[in-house]
Structure 1
């Protein structure tokens, strides 16, 4: 009965997702196929702006724009004043990190699997201020952050603890809730990147214990590219300062030589943004909530189990995640075939996948002795037949590579 229910759910997802008729899409970790509701919302707003101009169209859409903030707050488990929108998760994360007054003696503890743009902004602080950037230890048995050892690293000099729920180079889920429960100084903010989790897992400020939680709209939520959101705890709203760049949406010019910045999360927003994209993000959140994040996760997990079993059955293929640990996606390598070459062969067969290299996961990959991996990330719209087709192409590619050497 469970398989029948999940099959009905996948069919429903596919009925609402026109792109499934064009390709076999296995790169939701990069950008999911948008549902019809998102595309229709975006196009309708663009057409309205063409008819009456962007500002008039914005005034007409104000209630719907307010509803997007309400929807985002519901998804991330906070109040509306704690939500900030921006062009992406990495930009919002960086704006918040760089807004923090930090002394040169500060320590920032960071996961070795942290997202590249987050690492870059931490390195900027290290180079500009001389702060200490230290990598959180890994449990050799699980490959995850060692919570007990991490606890011993936190002291009065620790100003930030930075961890992704799931990285982009490995689908394993980090113990973010346990890390968030660790004692830390009042000035130590917990930065959590939910990019590869939100939309397929119930991740909120409360469930993670985060002071800052970010995610983009384009991945598991299947919203427009160029839209992201950030939720800030009460503590972070107090401790974070002005953004590195000010904007009249987040700050007011109060006197010829004075200004005042908002106290809520909107201080990080900008006046210029895509109304169509923002409304599309709202449609994506509404769609995910209507379908049920738990239902989405169950369908994804079912497909990942099928794909993992199939990949492990191909001689010469190494899968880097344990499906029993409920990863968000799978990464793998095929002997005798470069990741980029295998990705191209899959693309030739109409199958969309991805590779991840050192440029996006340098610390993690160097520690694991990797330079690049293939990534397969089905969504709830992926069928058993599509997964079988993917596995057949991988098996053929590996066999061909073996016979040509």
Structure 2
């Protein structure tokens, strides 16, 4: 498969409601849609997930642009590709920058599936016609506000509530939720807001019967997480600490976690995500697919990945309407009683709504085999 042209559409979408975490509050999402055309005219789409500022990781929208424009797209255009698995190998000479790599690799996977007239999830080896999904809830001003939000999502049928926490907004808030929703699956997401000095607070969470606590300690740590996990009955889930199969292997061997959140962008693409999934299946480690406030294209890639068998916990891929007044795909991602029905159309299974996309686009860059620099 010879890639003829790559187009980067820089997008800005406003969230319906601000989304607060321990490292910042988001009111809009800036990202790139990657449009990739082969020599037959077939088109695949990918989406970048880095934020505008380096809160979650060192990558940003601007660094993604630089890496794709100056390094990754020229590598992608230089030779034909037989299979999407080759993309990560081709990018191997470029260190890190996983979100930039993933954005382009995702478009290759969509293109490859469409060329083969197959749904992406089948190409990946997925075996589910529907997936269970949970919801991620940002930090709320009060317990009353949090209970109101949780109640709404329980009524909608979401299978699991992920509640963002930070010091001073943790145990008491979660205790109130557990009191009012004793049978609801709950987890906490700390986004690296704690240290081992907070161990007594974190141990109190064991009272609440949580599914897991996600990334309580430093974003690059696996040693202290092992120390913490040895003192908690609540499973630790690692997120920011896992960037590769090797990271996952070391964390599991050390006993740093019992669950891993696989985010396609964080680990560098679908190929690496599958490797982590397969290893976790061998080790009996549960995995689930986390979210990065994606628009529809990124959301569709998450859905396809989640059809793999070891994704046995509800992920964060909520309905499009949870975040956007109007998404950039048609139909939008819909959730019915906590379930997403996996589309069976070729590729990601959703059509890109070009009219909506163009109305939200703030920049367009085009790269081709004959001119591998932006036009």
TM-score scaled to structure 1, two decimals? 0.27
- Of structures 1 and 2, the larger Rg is shown by 1
Relative to total residues, which structure has the larger strand share, 1 or 2? Answer: 2
Relative to total residues, which structure has the larger helix share, 1 or 2? Answer: 1
